[in-house]
């Protein structure tokens, strides 16, 4: 077993000092399979799947450490069912004036594994810390959730099973640990509350009761159609369901399948006021969020393509409609790019270090402030990054308040070297119009007589591509090249032989779209001064001689000079800035060149390029773990589920890392946005 110790010395005072989070390294507990975690009070329960057990991290211990076994040299092991992969806990929310909307954990943690027909019930109080019941059920368990006891009552476990006929949701009341232990091998009775033929349940979530109806048992249920089923069943559903009456109360308009659900406790005040890094000064739609006012869901990418339904959405828990963001429109998904969300939690009053870009008296400056935001969403992702978002205003934190802008303009020769301008100004020659919320960080390269896509270095000996006679040559360029105007009359065809490019080019005289779907570009016959040509390439010419390339997208089109030759880079809104106007047509960039002999010297030659970079003015709160050598965090690359809690007034997130067989503690106030972090991070393995 690995063991690590660290001593902090205060040399100036000659006294023992406090260790920072980034310095504390705790005893290794031998986790093997840290796939999920949950918390009850000051204890984090973590799967150690390869050893069929749970481990318990004591957040109240000093120094923080795993709960010890009766032999204090060893960490406590809680044996459970084989290969536990998923955990949940009892949770309830206060319904009286004294505790309204306050989240309280109950006496149990529950564990299940993939493809299992068993559940482990673990007593979560320190005097127990053991499995008190192993429940056998009549099908493979696909989802579970639990409600904590109220007023001295029982805990209530809800779980969904799968059979060839479809899904079934069960309800089971569990007495306290002593009563449950006294039952011996007997199991508490379960009752079928909902049957869903042809469906599988992907997620369950116990929703908070209200002051007016403290005994209500409402759940959010997410389902998908079984692949082998007929088209008669809906492809997916997420809905609010009454576990007592068995009635579906409200369909939820996520618009896509959901694989993970989460909600939040009461947020007394949603407004946040500051003079520094306000980010979004709009007034929240609701001044107070009652517990469970919104249901958040991680969309299931596997059923509809990663790019078309990925990210996190929220719905109003009562109406079922998409939550309204700060622009008074239904929210957009909180995206993590091309990665997949691996967890989700909501953090009330989370302390963050907000570092933002603002306009100062001498230009753009970065300022920072520690802020306790009313409700923060935390989303780990498969690319190793973690995103914080504003779960009140239903939008990402935008750490750049200055909006879209031009980053730089350059004039380069074909070798990529800067051309010295002797007459004119790049500010006058290159004009870019942008749209806040649609323009992205990118660089556009406007290449004079640039190469055209899919028509570079093609073989002249391929009869399917080229057919030449004594009077003309016909080049097969593809129908799309003509319909999209990538190839036009007056374009240039450059020939090459074994010695290199030939001195004489061909010029496209006409183009023709044939009835058989081919697109043909015609030129004069091969020049006699090009001996044994072997390949050809097309370059832009005519009145649109600039091929436009984007560093982010590659070739995007071609353009000419002046207003008649301008080019629009298409794109939609990926973000809604303050003052967003949904009626304004979006585009990434509208590029215009103003070139003539009076305004620019030297004029461009073949291969020269004008470049212009655009800045989106959008910086989300994203960060990663510093896995470089020396941090001790090299294995913390793939984050999984996340939980949030406060310990002694400090905000902490805990994320399971299957890649490291460990859990990483994040002091949220120590996290620096948009960089790899090691300060404020403590691994527990």
102: helix, strand or coil = coil
Contacting residues for 98 by C-beta, under 8 A, at least 6 apart = none
- Nearest-angstrom CA–CA distance, 309 and 298: 9
CB-CB contact of 569 with 550 (8 Å): yes
Of the candidates 149, 122, 147, which has an alpha carbon nearest to the alpha carbon of residue 133? 122
Cα separations in angstroms, 448 against 407, 457, 541, 651: 21, 18, 8, 55
CA atoms within 13 A on the CB side of 373: 28
Answer yes or no: is pLDDT of 405 > 80: yes
pLDDT above 90: residue 523: yes
Burial class (CB in 10 A: 0-12, 13-18, 19+), 338: exposed
Residue 659 and residue 668 in contact, taking contact as beta carbons nearer than 8 Å: no
Reported in sequence order, the residue ranges of 391-543 that DSSP labels E, i.e. its strands, are: 395-396, 405-412, 430-433, 442-448, 458-459, 466-468, 472-476, 492-497, 500-501, 506-507, 510-513, 519-524, 535-539
Residue 676's Cβ-count burial label (10 Å; 0-12, 13-18, 19+) is: middle
Q: Residue 28: which pLDDT band, with cuts at 50, 70 and 90?
A: confident
- Contact present, 60 and 665 (Cβ < 8 Å): no
Q: Where are the alpha helices (DSSP H) in 65-206?
A: 177-182
How many Å is the maximal CA-CA distance in the chain?
100
C-alpha pair distances (Å), 208 with each of 147, 152, 290: 9, 17, 9
Tokens describing residue 101: 């909307």
- For the stretch 233-265, pLDDT in tens is 788 999 999 999 999 999 999 999 999 999 999
pTM of the predicted model as reported, rounded to 2 decimal places: 0.89
Contacts of 579 (CB under 8 A, 6+ apart): none
Q: Which residue has the tokens 């005097």?
A: 127
pLDDT for position 15: 32
Mean pLDDT for 87-97 is: 95
570: phi > 0 → left, psi -120 to 50 → alpha, else beta; which?
beta
Residue 1 has pLDDT above 70, yes or no: no
Report, as an integer, the average pLDDT of 402-431. Answer: 92
- 654 within 8 A of 665, measured Cβ to Cβ: yes
Q: What is the secondary structure of 406-428 as a DSSP string?
A: EEEEEEE-TTSPBPPPSBS-HHH
Provide the CB-side half-sphere exposure for 445 (13 A, CA). Answer: 18
- Average pLDDT (219-233) is 80
Residues 6+ apart with CB under 8 A from 227: none
Confirm if 100 and 211 have CB atoms less than 8 A apart: yes
pLDDT of residue 17: 36
- Those residues whose C-beta lies under 8 Å from the C-beta of residue 649, and which sit 6 or more positions away, are none
Position 109 confidence tier, pLDDT thresholds 50, 70, 90: very high
The pLDDT of residue 3: 35
Pairing mode, if any, of strands 405-412 and 609-615?
A: antiparallel
Tokens of 664: 């990483």
Look up residue 15 and give its two tokens.
Answer: 């006294």
Per-residue pLDDT of 270-289, as tens digits, reads: 998 887 888 887 888 889 99
**DSSP 8-state assignment for residue 302:** G
pLDDT, one tens digit per residue, over 645-660 is: 999 999 999 999 999 9
| 375 contact partners, CB below 8 Å, separation of at least 6 | 264, 267, 270, 289, 346, 347, 348, 349, 350, 390, 391, 392
Q: Which two tokens stand for residue 80?
A: 């459970």
């Amino acid at each position: 077993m690995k063991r690590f110790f660290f001593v902090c010395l205060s040399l100036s005072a000659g006294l023992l000092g406090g260790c920072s989070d980034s310095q504390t390294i705790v005893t290794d507990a031998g986790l093997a399979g840290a796939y999920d975690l949950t918390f009850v009070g000051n204890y984090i329960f973590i799967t150690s799947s390869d050893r069929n057990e749970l481990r318990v991290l004591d957040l109240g211990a000093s120094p923080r450490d795993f709960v010890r076994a009766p032999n204090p040299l060893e960490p406590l092991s809680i044996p459970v069912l084989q290969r536990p992969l998923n955990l949940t806990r009892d949770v309830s929310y206060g319904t009286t004036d004294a505790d309204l909307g306050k989240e309280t954990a109950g006496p149990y943690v529950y564990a299940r594994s993939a493809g299992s027909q068993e559940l482990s019930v673990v007593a979560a109080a320190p005097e127990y810390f053991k499995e008190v019941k192993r429940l056998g059920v009549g099908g493979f368990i696909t989802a579970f959730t639990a409600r904590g006891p109220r007023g001295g009552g029982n805990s209530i476990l809800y779980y969904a099973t799968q059979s060839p006929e479809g899904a079934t949701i069960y309800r089971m009341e569990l007495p306290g640990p002593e009563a449950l232990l006294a039952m011996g091998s007997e199991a508490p009775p379960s009752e079928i509350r909902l049957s869903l033929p042809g469906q599988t349940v992907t997620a369950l979530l116990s929703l908070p009761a209200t002051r007016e109806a403290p005994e209500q048992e409402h759940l959010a249920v997410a389902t998908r159609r079984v692949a082998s089923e007929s088209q008669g069943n809906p492809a997916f559903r997420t809905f609010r369901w009454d576990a007592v009456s068995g009635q579906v109360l409200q369909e939820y308009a996520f618009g896509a399948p959901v694989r993970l659900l989460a909600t939040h406790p009461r947020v007394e005040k949603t407004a946040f006021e500051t003079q520094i890094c306000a980010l979004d000064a709009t007034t929240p739609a609701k001044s107070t969020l009652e517990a469970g006012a919104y249901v958040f869901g991680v969309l299931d990418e596997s059923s509809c393509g990663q790019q078309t339904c990925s990210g996190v959405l929220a719905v109003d828990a009562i109406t079922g409609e998409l939550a309204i963001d700060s622009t008074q429109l239904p929210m957009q998904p909180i995206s993590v790019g091309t990665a997949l969300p691996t967890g989700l939690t909501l953090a009330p009053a989370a302390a963050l270090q907000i570092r933002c870009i603002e306009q100062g008296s001498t230009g753009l400056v970065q300022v920072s402030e520690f802020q306790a935001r009313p409700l923060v969403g935390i989303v780990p992702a498969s690319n190793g990054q973690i995103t914080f978002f504003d779960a009140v205003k239903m939008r990402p934190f935008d750490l750049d308040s200055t909006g879209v802008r031009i980053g730089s303009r350059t004039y380069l020769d074909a070798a990529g070297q800067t051309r010295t301008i002797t007459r004119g100004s790049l500010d006058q020659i290159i004009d870019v119009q942008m749209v806040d919320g649609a323009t992205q960080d990118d660089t556009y390269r406007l290449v004079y007589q640039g190469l055209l896509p899919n028509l570079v270095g093609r073989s002249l000996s391929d009869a399917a591509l080229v057919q030449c006679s004594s009077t003309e040559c016909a080049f097969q360029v593809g129908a799309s090249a003509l319909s999209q105007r990538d190839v036009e009359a007056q374009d240039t065809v450059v020939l090459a032989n074994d010695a290199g490019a030939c001195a004489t080019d061909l010029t496209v005289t006409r183009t023709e779209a044939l009835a058989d779907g081919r697109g043909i570009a015609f030129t004069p016959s091969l020049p006699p001064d090009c001996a044994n040509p072997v390949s050809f390439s097309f370059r832009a010419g005519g009145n649109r001689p600039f091929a436009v390339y984007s560093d982010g997208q590659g070739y995007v089109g071609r353009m000419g000079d002046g207003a008649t030759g301008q080019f629009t880079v298409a794109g939609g809104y990926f973000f809604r800035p303050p003052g967003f106007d949904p009626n304004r047509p979006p585009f990434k960039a509208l590029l215009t060149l103003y070139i003539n002999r009076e305004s620019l010297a030297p004029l461009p030659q073949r291969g020269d390029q004008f470049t212009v970079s655009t800045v989106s003015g959008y910086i989300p709160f994203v960060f990663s773990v510093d896995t470089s050598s020396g941090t001790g965090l090299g294995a913390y690359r793939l984050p999984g589920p996340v939980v949030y809690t406060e310990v002694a007034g400090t905000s902490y997130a805990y994320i399971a890392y299957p890649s490291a067989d460990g859990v990483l503690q994040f002091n949220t106030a120590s996290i620096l946005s948009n960089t790899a972090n090691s300060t404020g991070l403590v691994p527990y393995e």
